[in-house]
Amino acid sequence: MEYKIEKKKAPGRDEVEVLGATFEKGKPEGEDAGKWRQKLDSREERLKYLQSGERYFYSQEWFGSEKRKNPA
Amino acid sequence: MAEEQETKSIDQGTIELIEKAAKDGVNTAFDRAEAMKPCPIGSVGSCCKHCGMGPCRVPLPKGKEETPEEKQKRRGVCGATAETIAARNFIRMIAGGAAAHSDHGRGVAELFLEVARGGAPGYGIKDEQKLLQVALDLGVEIGERTNNEIATDIGQIVLGEYGKQEGELITLRKAPLKRQELWRKLGVAPRGIDREIVEIMHRTHIGVDQDYKSLLKQGVRAALADGWGGSLMATELQDILFGTPAPILGQANLGVLEKDEVNIIIHGHEPLLSEMIVAAAQEPEMIELAKSKGAKGINLSGMCCTANEILMRHGVPIAGNFLQQELAIVTGAVEAMVVDVQCIMQSVQTVAECYHTKIITTSPKARIPGATHIEFDEHDALKSAREIVKTAIENFPNRKGNVHIPDNKTDQIAGFSHETINYLLGGMFRASYRPLNDNIINGRIRGVAGVVGCNNARTKHNEAHITMVKELIKNDVLVITTGCNAIACAEAGLLVPEAAKKFAGKGLAEVCETVGIPPVLHMGSCVDNSRILIAATAMVKDGGLGDDISDLPVAGAAPEWMSEKAISIGQYFVASGVYTVFGVTWPTTGSKEVTDYLFKDMEEMLGGMWAFEPDPIRAAHLMIAHIDKKRKALGIDKARERVLYDMDMRRELDAV
Ligand code: SF4
């Protein structure tokens, strides 16, 4: 799962790099339908996903509605 | 005759098979429930048989108020009051339920450790993501270690949680912070899983704990050890071994059985062996063998929670829920029913003897006289699985002519684990519960209800489940479901996205259409109720809906409950801050004090409480009223009443 960088012309500036679409084109079909976890394919990516996607439980600095409190 | 059977189930195929059973002279749970009424004293918790001086029956006087003197005398031989007796009975149910779930979890943990140590060929770590997640939960070092090294530590820690004597369960830390603090303050944070269950057995022995409040508090502690301990760990480790569920299409109801194929039904609760049976049934040699016996192939299907497990991970169809187990055999088309533990009627063997079906028991903990026993050996699980599949295939030529498979299968989408809901709502780059919380705050979704639990032969099969769920979604309450309720919903066609348009209120239907989800989300088996706890915690942590589960506009229900496991589940939901309504019957009505404590005082103590309402529409309305109460407390009740002004209305306003 790699970030896609697109180059775009910006008004008053030269070309700038922007983050491209973060979704995959088309609809998953057959065997792949619904299987999203397999898209993370290295341990590093998986840990990164836990910290962002599952930040409620695993982020170092973000505790949602509980962020003012100390971790239990 | 047909009319009489129609009072027994809302499902046409089920009615057809009840009729066939009667014609074939087969006795089923439906007949037994009619022939034998429940004991009126035992059913309200007023009978104690905890010692050889009893059983002592202490029923409330009929049709009149009891005088204080009469109440004084209403005691067992040992002096135990009706309150003590009702509370003892109630928490022994919790002990039974918590033990069942937790022993299931222990079995998974034992296999898990064997897998990590390389002693269980055929199994492996399927979901590294979940392995890492659990490692973080349990404080296991990750670094550059191999999956098996990490898993070994996890397995040891989890097994240790069962026998832990002091401190508190590590997984309690997954709960909202405020909830954890409350449990500690009340002294109900469980120390070790086994310890809390054993302590119930001790306290309820003659002459030990004789204060109903103290007894019920221990019930809370053991139930928490189940929900946030044994059940949660069972779910997590199963996900690591077999994969965290993601949306998958499947089918449901007795019509999934195939006339020309070898039908094997896997019934019970643990996915350990069933995963291997799924693999064995796909082997070309097995399919060849089936063909050599005159069958077109091998058709696997599930029943009860094993069904939910293999549906969520492999799309294996579900043949039915608890009350359909005997009827599946009555079709005359089942070569083998493979059972492990929990919710297996002993009578499946008697019914099987009327047809050609072989009942195959597989757990050393659960044997049935007359059944074929092929013990599951985790060290060579595929061998056990192959032997089972072969036994079924070889039974195909014995099938008699008397076959009737109802034409009643429906499509369903299952596999909504917490992780998948989080992903579906926010995507890979910002998985989140935010859209759910936002839609609750803006009022499109009124709240969330967990509707779970069994079937009960004392009430029309699936009727309360479906009536309640339809009433909830009609009122914009998103339903999450597990266990036999999930199967009932699948059979009624509620687990497909199209159901939103047909049955849900406008707001909920809009959200379902946008996200592409059904209005009722299938989260798994009964140990997977722990997924509901985690989803509720994620809603809290995402923010905007208070800082504890008891602040959320949510409610729980088990409209057709019957098992001790359901009582344990209900109690851990209540202890987690959820208003929980049960149907059919209530096991403490023999004591007003105990019932009031559960229905009223627990709210003050825990923010969640029990309720009893057998009418599913009224029960749904109680849940909706609770959800609205919570919306009001959060100050989001106005969002639902908001009026969108059109141009004419604006002009009118301007003119004022
Ligand atoms: S423990 Fe007490 S109430 Fe129970 S059976 Fe014995 S004497 Fe009766």
Q: Residue range B239-255: average pLDDT?
A: 92
pLDDT exceeds cutoff 70 at B162: yes
B501-529: pLDDT as tens digits: 999 999 999 999 988 899 999 998 888 89
CA distance B402 to B558: 36
pLDDT exceeds cutoff 70 at A2: no
**Is A14 within the bounds of a domain?**
no
B443-478: pLDDT as tens digits: 999 999 999 999 999 999 999 999 999 999 999 999
- Contact at 8 Å (CB) between B136 and A58? yes
Residues of A near B (Cβ–Cβ under 8 Å) read 1, 22-23, 33-37, 39-40, 43, 46-47, 49-50, 52-54, 56-58, 63-66, 69, 71-72
pLDDT for res B289 = 97
Count other Cβ atoms within 10 Å, centred on residue B262: 30
pLDDT for res A72 = 46
Q: Residue range B390-415: average pLDDT?
A: 93
Instruction: State whether the beta carbon of B48 lies less than 6 angstroms from ligand 1.
Output: yes
Q: Residue range A22-42: average pLDDT?
A: 69
**Is A24 within the bounds of a domain?**
no
B264-312: pLDDT as tens digits: 999 988 888 888 999 999 999 999 999 999 999 999 999 988 888 888 8
CA-nearest residue to B418 within chain A is A54
pLDDT exceeds cutoff 80 at A22: no
**Is A48 within the bounds of a domain?**
yes
- Contact at 8 Å (CB) between B451 and B485? yes
Residue type (1 letter), B319: A
* A57/B177 touch (CB, cutoff 8 Å), yes or no: no
Cβ contacts of B174 on chain A, cutoff 8 Å: 57
- B317 secondary structure, DSSP code: P
Q: Residue range B551-576: average pLDDT?
A: 96
User: Where is pLDDT greater, at B236 or B312?
Assistant: B236
* A34/B427 touch (CB, cutoff 8 Å), yes or no: no
User: What three-state secondary structure class fits B63?
Assistant: coil
pLDDT exceeds cutoff 90 at B646: no
The answer to whether B547 faces chain A, any CB pair under 8 Å, is yes
pTM for this one? 0.91
**Is A69 within the bounds of a domain?**
no
pLDDT for res B62 = 84
- Contact at 8 Å (CB) between B454 and B484? yes
Prediction ipTM score? 0.81
Residue type (1 letter), B101: H
Cβ contacts of B545 on chain A, cutoff 8 Å: 65
How do B579-582 and B56-57 pair as beta strands? Answer: unpaired
Residue B422: which of B534, B514, B549, B577 has the closest Cα? B534
Q: Residue range B244-258: average pLDDT?
A: 92
**Is A49 within the bounds of a domain?**
yes
CA distance B516 to B496: 9
* B129/A46 touch (CB, cutoff 8 Å), yes or no: yes
pLDDT exceeds cutoff 90 at B424: no
pLDDT for res A63 = 60
* Beta bridge partner(s), residue A8: A16
Residue B525: which of B232, B250, B263, B264 has the closest Cα? B232
Of all residues in chain B, what percent carry a pLDDT higher than 90?
81
The answer to whether B173 faces chain A, any CB pair under 8 Å, is yes
pLDDT range class, residue A28, cuts 50, 70, 90 = low
pLDDT range class, residue A41, cuts 50, 70, 90 = confident
Output the CA–CA distances (angstroms, integers) from residue B155 to B107, B276, B407, in the order listed.
11, 21, 45
- Determine the residue of B47, B56, B73, B84 to mutate for testing ligand 1's pocket, defined as the one with the most ligand atoms within 8 A of the Cβ atom: B56
pLDDT exceeds cutoff 80 at A21: no
Structural domain boundaries, residue A41 = 34-60
Cα torsion B241, B243, B249, B253: sign: positive
CA distance B231 to B102: 6
Domains along the sequence of chain B with CATH: 82-242 (1.20.1270.30), 254-398 (3.40.50.2030), 410-634 (3.40.50.2030)
Which residue from A50, A53, A65 is facing B543, i.e. has the nearest CB?
A: A65
- Contact at 8 Å (CB) between B89 and B45? yes
pLDDT range class, residue B227, cuts 50, 70, 90 = very high
CA of B52 relative to ligand 1 center, distance in Å: 8
pLDDT range class, residue B649, cuts 50, 70, 90 = low
The answer to whether B176 faces chain A, any CB pair under 8 Å, is yes
CA distance B609 to B378: 41
Instruction: State whether the beta carbon of B41 lies less than 6 angstroms from ligand 1.
Output: no
pLDDT exceeds cutoff 60 at B353: yes
pLDDT for res B271 = 83
Most confident range, picked from B408-417, B533-542, B592-601: B592-601
pLDDT exceeds cutoff 70 at B1: no
Report the number of distinct structural domains present in chain A.
1
pLDDT exceeds cutoff 90 at B429: no
B197-223: pLDDT as tens digits: 999 999 999 999 999 999 999 999 999
Residue type (1 letter), B44: V
In sequence order, the 6+-apart residues with CB closer than 8 A to the CB of B581 are B555, B556, B557, B559, B610, B611, B612, B613, B619, B622, B623
CA of B112 relative to ligand 1 center, distance in Å: 42
How do B298-303 and B372-373 pair as beta strands? Answer: unpaired
pLDDT for res A64 = 65
**Is A52 within the bounds of a domain?**
yes
pLDDT for res B151 = 97
pLDDT for res B564 = 95
* A46/B132 touch (CB, cutoff 8 Å), yes or no: yes
CA-nearest residue to B144 within chain A is A43
B572-605: pLDDT as tens digits: 999 999 999 999 999 999 999 999 999 999 999 9
SS (H, E, C) chain A: CCCCEEEEECCCCCEEEEECCCCCCCCCCHHHCCCCHHHCCCHHHHHHHHHHHCHHHHCCCCCHHHCCCCCC
B63-97: pLDDT as tens digits: 888 899 988 999 999 999 999 999 999 999 999 99
- Contact at 8 Å (CB) between A8 and A19? no
CA distance B51 to B30: 33
**Is A19 within the bounds of a domain?**
no
User: What three-state secondary structure class fits B220?
Assistant: helix
Closest Cα of chain A to B102: distance in Å? 24
Task: Print burial letters for B211-246: b (CB count within 10 Å at least 16), e (below 16).
Answer: ebeebbbbbbbbbbbbbbbbbbbbbbbbbbbbbbbb
pLDDT for res B640 = 63
CA of B101 relative to ligand 1 center, distance in Å: 28
pLDDT exceeds cutoff 60 at B177: yes
pLDDT exceeds cutoff 90 at A55: no
Cβ contacts of A19 on chain B, cutoff 8 Å: none
